[in-house]
């Protein structure tokens, strides 16, 4: 009887110890995961600001955010210019100004802080997307964030740092998650906020329309199509209103807000032709071809294994890529961030199947 009592007592004493050990391990995992996001985000933020010639143009990049709030022309390289499409991108400038007001930091210091925080937040949003849609494992989420970090590096080849880039990646990852989980109210709310960062967030409506496993051509699809059209109209109306409100000229005509500069088709063709004639490995088009080759090869090899929603997301990425080309220089890779988020997600969705199918290495 005494032996049984001893065993029962040891079990009762061991249970709290086991619970405490599990809590310690869970805390350690969270600390490791958050530490990884901070490390990767810091790496992205540092490289984004210091790659040549971005560090030479840092003052112009900071001033561009002030110019939006102060409704004055931008100054790049000593020349005064105005980009109408930038006038609606007020979220980051307001975040910088708010942080300056709250902490007493200079505007340039707040710029660096917001830049760093948005880089970490973008990776966190993508890790959350991967964890909820592919595999609920903190280590796998860390792998997904690491892969997106590598994918985003070539987008820094643009000569100016654009502080809305990381927020663009983070918002698009979050909108993709909400679309795949069919959270309609949250999706609309986050989309309207994201449009104040960059108008490319409107492309997330493609994911809402096709990011599911149902047949595309059905009665439900008609309803979703109407929903997407209404949200698109409201969202772009907000974008145009912001452009008018923050325009350089007071009472600017509505045509100025709606105007979206479009590159003549001859420009990207000329850029492509010049690159093929004189290819160089460090250029943006080299990495663009690298993106196309890598993602096409990986997704083609694993296409049959992908769930329908990820196949459609990858196809939506191709559509978004095609729609983005006329609105920027072909080598300006940062414009394709929404497409990069979607194709990276599709590659991440293949990882668990690839790891399970791979033979164990011989030691």
Q: What is the pLDDT of residues 134-176, one digit of tens each?
A: 988 888 999 999 999 999 999 998 888 899 999 999 999 999 9
Q: Which of 144, 150, 170 is nearest to 348 (CA)?
A: 144
Q: Are 238 and 195 in contact (CB under 8 A)?
A: yes
Measured between alpha carbons, how far is residue 62 from residues 59, 74, 107 in Å?
5, 10, 8
Handedness of CA 8, 9, 10, 15 (dihedral sign): positive
What is the pTM assigned to this prediction? Answer: 0.89
How do residues 218-242 score in pLDDT, each as one tens digit?
Answer: 788 889 999 999 999 999 999 999 9
Residue 360's pLDDT is: 47
Contacts of 112 (CB under 8 A, 6+ apart): 45, 49
What residues are paired with 81 via a beta bridge?
Answer: 74
Per-residue confidence (pLDDT) for residue 27, from 0 to 100: 86
Show the beta-strand stretches assigned E in the chain: 74-76, 79-81
Q: What are the structural domain ranges in the chain?
A: 17-353
Q: Reduced to 3 states, what is the DSSP secondary structure of residue 296? A: helix
| Triad 284, 172, 314: Cα angle to 5° | 70
Q: How many CB atoms lie within 10 A of CB 362?
A: 4
247 phi and psi angles, rounded to 5 deg: -65, 155
The predicted pLDDT at position 363 comes to 40
CB 335 within 8 A of CB 328: yes
pLDDT of residue 361: 45
With tokens 């009592």, the residue in question is 5
Regions of the chain with pLDDT less than 70: 1-15, 250-261, 263, 353-363
């Amino acid at each position: 009887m005494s032996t049984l009592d001893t065993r029962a007592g040891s079990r009762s004493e061991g249970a709290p110890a086991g619970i405490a050990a599990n809590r310690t391990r869970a805390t350690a995992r969270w600390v490791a995961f958050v530490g990884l996001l901070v490390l990767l985000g810091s790496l992205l933020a540092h490289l984004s600001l210091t790659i040549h010639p971005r560090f030479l143009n840092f003052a112009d990049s900071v001033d561009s955010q002030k110019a939006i709030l102060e409704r004055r022309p931008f100054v790049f390289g000593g020349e005064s210019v105005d980009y109408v499409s930038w006038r609606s991108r007020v979220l980051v400038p307001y975040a910088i100004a708010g942080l300056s007001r709250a902490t007493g930091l200079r505007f340039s210091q707040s710029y660096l802080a917001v830049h760093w925080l948005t880089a970490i937040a973008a990776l966190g949003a993508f890790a959350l997307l991967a964890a909820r849609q592919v595999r609920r494992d903190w280590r796998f989420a860390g792998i997904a964030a690491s892969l997106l970090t590598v994918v985003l590096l070539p987008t820094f080849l643009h000569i100016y740092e654009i502080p809305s880039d990381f927020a663009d990646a983070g918002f698009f990852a979050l909108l993709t998650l909400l679309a795949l989980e069919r959270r309609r109210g949250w999706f609309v709310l986050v989309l309207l906020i994201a449009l104040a960062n960059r108008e490319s967030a409107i492309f997330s409506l493609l994911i809402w329309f096709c990011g599911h496993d149902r047949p595309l051509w059905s009665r439900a699809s008609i309803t979703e199509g109407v929903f997407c059209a209404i949200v698109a109209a409201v969202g772009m109306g907000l974008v145009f209103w912001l452009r008018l409100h923050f325009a350089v000229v007071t009472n600017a005509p509505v045509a100025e807000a709606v105007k979206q500069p479009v590159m003549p088709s001859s420009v990207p063709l000329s850029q492509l032709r010049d690159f093929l004639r004189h290819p160089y490995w460090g250029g943006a088009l080299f990495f663009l071809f690298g993106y196309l080759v890598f993602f096409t090869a990986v997704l083609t090899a694993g296409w049959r294994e992908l769930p329908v929603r990820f196949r459609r997301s990858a196809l939506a990425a191709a559509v978004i890529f095609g729609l983005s080309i006329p609105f920027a220089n072909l080598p300006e890779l940062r414009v394709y961030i929404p497409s990069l988020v979607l194709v990276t997600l599709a590659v991440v969705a293949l990882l668990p199947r690839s790891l399970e199918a791979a033979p164990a290495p011989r030691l």
